[in-house]
């Protein structure tokens, strides 16, 4: 019985940690004005009739703070990569020199920064919802154990308190990540 409760709590913590890491990876895809491979690595590229992530067909490097270079493994994909970047919501104009694509990032305007902060806050809220959903599912599993008679009401109350502490811990971690991203966005 105790093992089942501990397993539910452990699985809950693991899923909450995954929700945090997913949200942080979502944050990384929001442009701050600094060059980062995360801005483009998951971008879908139409490659021979199927859509593939950019990172699977090209090497991405950051030669300086405001420049990204993309070197495709197959030169024939240069045009498709350039088109996908141009059509994306990054708001950049890539340059193609025949061997690689260079993206120079300009610092976002104040208005654009405010829009990006709204986007980041929305992603953070989605992360909070995911954490709360994990908590709700774990609570449901614990209640099922109590209904089956393998868990006492006191054990249920103790476990729910532990779940609440876990939830508060991960939401606080998410809020810290949000604060960091917001400060990055506001940095000129």
**CATH number, domain 37-104:** 3.30.1360.40
Residue 187's pLDDT is: 76
Two tokens at 6?
Answer: 């501990």
Residue 188's pLDDT is: 57
Question: Would you call 72 helix, strand, or coil by DSSP?
Answer: strand
Question: Would you call 46 helix, strand, or coil by DSSP?
Answer: strand
Domain spans in the chain, listed from the N-terminal domain onward: 2-28+109-186, 37-104
Name the β-bridge partners of 22: none
Two tokens at 23?
Answer: 């949200």
Question: Structurally, what CATH architecture does the domain formed by 2-28+109-186 represent?
Answer: Orthogonal Bundle (1.10)
Rounded Cα–Cα distance for residues 20 and 131 (Å) = 8
Mean pLDDT of successive 10-residue stretches along the chain, which has 188 residues: 86 94 86 76 87 90 88 89 85 86 84 86 95 95 89 89 94 94 81
Residue 1's pLDDT is: 65
The sign one gets for the Cα dihedral 73, 76, 78, 81 is negative
| Cα maximum dimension of the chain | 70
Residue 26's pLDDT is: 86
């Amino acid at each position: 019985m105790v093992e089942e409760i501990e397993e539910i709590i452990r699985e809950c913590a693991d899923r909450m940690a995954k929700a945090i890491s997913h949200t942080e990876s979502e944050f990384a895809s929001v442009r701050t004005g600094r060059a980062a491979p995360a801005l483009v690595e998951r971008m879908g590229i139409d490659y021979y009739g199927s859509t593939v992530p950019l990172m699977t067909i090209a090497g991405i490097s950051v030669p300086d703070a405001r420049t990204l270079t993309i070197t495709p493994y197959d030169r024939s994909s240069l045009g498709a990569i350039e088109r996908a970047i141009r059509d994306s919501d990054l708001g950049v104009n890539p340059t193609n020199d025949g061997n690689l694509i260079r993206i120079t990032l300009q610092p976002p305007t104040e208005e654009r920064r405010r829009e990006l902060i709204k986007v980041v806050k929305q992603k953070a809220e989605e992360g909070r919802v995911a954490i709360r959903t994990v908590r709700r599912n774990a609570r449901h599993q614990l209640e099922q154990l109590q209904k089956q008679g393998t868990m006492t009401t006191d054990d249920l109350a103790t476990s729910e308190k532990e779940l609440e502490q876990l939830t508060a811990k991960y939401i606080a971690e998410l809020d810290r990540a949000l604060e960091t991203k917001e400060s990055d966005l506001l940095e000129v």
